[in-house]
Each structure stands twice: as structure tokens, then as C-alpha cells.
């Protein structure tokens, strides 16, 4: 009785360890799938191929660009999922995420919550990210007839009161400058003449003294 009770914890440990190993192996078996695109009667066949054996319930997800939610989802039991999409529908989906690439991943029904790594991205050719618009004939605008240009002569401005006042002030300044210049010239002439007359008077006085001295000597 005691031995059976003591083995219960050991059995629980072994069962949990077995479940953990199986669960880990199932996750490691979900390898990255391969993706390819082939045209098929006006449609695009996008294949998401796995390495799982036939008979395995596989749910495949198709993604556009970096969108976190799948664009399409399907399931299969033959190890490879195929998405049949129209080029226009796929182009609209790619334009909404501004990308030209698709990718896929898958999960297995026997392991709820398990999800494989996402496949390498596949660039879809012939997808334009620019929305096409209806083409309209482009009409070249006709240039307007040349207009005659007339030379416009501006009327000469009449002198204002301010201009007359400035002209009068300018004239008075010139008159005052001329008067001052004449006064300075007159002062210099007068100064020169006064010095000249003084020098002549001194010369005559000196000559008079010399004549007087000569007369005195003659008398003696």
C-alpha cells in the first residue's frame, strides 16, 4: 500500500514530462513553408507547401505585405494549400498595405495554438501600387493672341511745397557761404594793406632819421 502511494508522484511527473516532450516535438516539426505563385486560367494560384504527410489537417494563412491578419485562409489534407485569387482583388489588397509581396504560414489541427514560421516573401510581378485612372486626351492649351504694349510715360511730378522750401534753403546757404567768403577775403586784403602801409611809414621814418644825421655831420 505504501509503495503504491509513493509511486503516484513519480507517475504524475512522468506523464507531465511525456506531454511536454510531445508538445515540444510537435512545435519543432512545424517548419517554415514554401510559397509560389502561378497563373491559372486568368486567376493566380498561390501555393503554400509544407513538409507534412498527407492526411494531416492543415490550416493555411495567406498574408499581404506586413499585415498581421491573413488576407485569405484555407485548409487541406494533402500537405499543400492553394489560394485561387483574381489579380485585381490581390492588387487591391496589396495596394491597401502598399506592398507587392505575399507570404504564408500554417497550423495543425492536432496541436491547437501551434503556428509555423512565416514563409519567405514572394514578390508578385505585374502589380502596380499606383491606382490606374481612365486616360483622357490631353489638349494643348492655345496661347492667347499677343497683346500690343504701349509705352506709358509718367507725368513729371510738380514741385511740392517741401521741394520749394528745400530749394530756397539751399539757395540761402550758398548766398551765406559766398558772403562769408567775401568777408574773409576782404579781411585778408585789409590786413595785408595795413601791414604794407605800416612798413612804408617805418621806412620813410628811418630814411628821415638818416637824412637828419647826415645833415648834422655836414654842418659839423
Domain ranges of the chain: 11-123, 160-220
Give residue 160's Cα distance to chain centre: 54
* Residue 202 to residue 196: CA distance in whole angstroms: 10
* Residue 149 to residue 134: CA distance in whole angstroms: 43
Straight-line distance from the first to the last Cα atom of the chain, in angstroms, rounded to the nearest whole number? 192
| Topology annotation, domain 11-123 | Immunoglobulin-like (2.60.40)
Phi-psi region of 79 (alpha: psi -120 to 50; beta: other; left: phi over 0): left
Per-residue pLDDT of the chain (220 residues), as tens digits, is 445 555 554 445 444 444 444 444 444 569 999 999 999 889 999 999 999 999 999 999 999 999 999 999 999 999 999 999 999 999 999 999 999 999 999 999 888 788 999 999 999 987 766 544 433 444 455 565 565 555 555 556 565 555 566 677 778 888 988 888 888 898 889 888 887 777 666 767 677 666 666 655 555 4
pTM (whole model) above 0.85:
no
* Residue 103 to residue 62: CA distance in whole angstroms: 6
Amino acid at each position: 500500500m505504501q509503495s503504491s502511494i509513493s509511486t503516484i508522484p513519480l507517475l504524475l511527473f512522468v506523464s507531465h514530462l511525456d506531454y511536454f516532450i510531445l508538445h515540444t516535438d510537435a512545435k519543432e516539426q512545424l517548419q517554415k513553408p514554401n510559397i509560389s505563385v502561378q497563373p491559372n486560367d486568368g486567376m493566380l494560384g498561390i501555393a503554400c507547401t509544407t513538409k507534412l504527410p498527407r492526411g494531416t489537417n492543415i490550416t493555411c494563412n495567406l498574408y499581404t505585405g506586413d499585415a498581421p491578419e491573413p488576407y485569405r485562409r484555407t485548409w487541406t489534407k494533402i500537405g499543400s494549400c492553394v489560394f485561387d485569387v483574381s489579380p485585381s482583388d490581390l492588387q487591391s489588397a496589396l495596394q491597401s498595405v502598399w506592398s507587392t509581396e505575399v507570404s504564408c504560414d500554417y497550423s495543425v489541427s492536432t496541436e491547437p495554438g501551434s503556428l509555423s514560421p512565416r514563409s519567405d516573401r514572394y514578390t508578385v510581378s505585374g502589380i502596380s501600387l499606383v491606382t490606374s485612372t481612365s486616360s483622357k486626351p490631353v489638349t494643348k492649351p492655345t496661347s492667347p493672341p499677343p497683346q500690343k504694349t504701349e509705352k506709358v510715360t509718367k507725368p513729371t511730378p510738380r514741385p511740392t511745397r517741401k521741394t520749394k522750401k528745400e530749394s530756397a534753403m539751399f539757395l540761402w546757404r550758398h548766398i551765406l557761404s559766398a558772403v562769408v567768403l567775401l568777408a574773409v577775403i576782404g579781411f585778408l586784403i585789409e590786413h595785408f594793406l595795413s601791414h604794407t602801409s605800416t612798413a612804408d611809414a617805418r621806412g620813410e621814418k628811418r630814411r628821415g632819421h638818416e637824412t637828419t644825421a647826415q645833415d648834422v655831420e655836414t654842418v659839423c
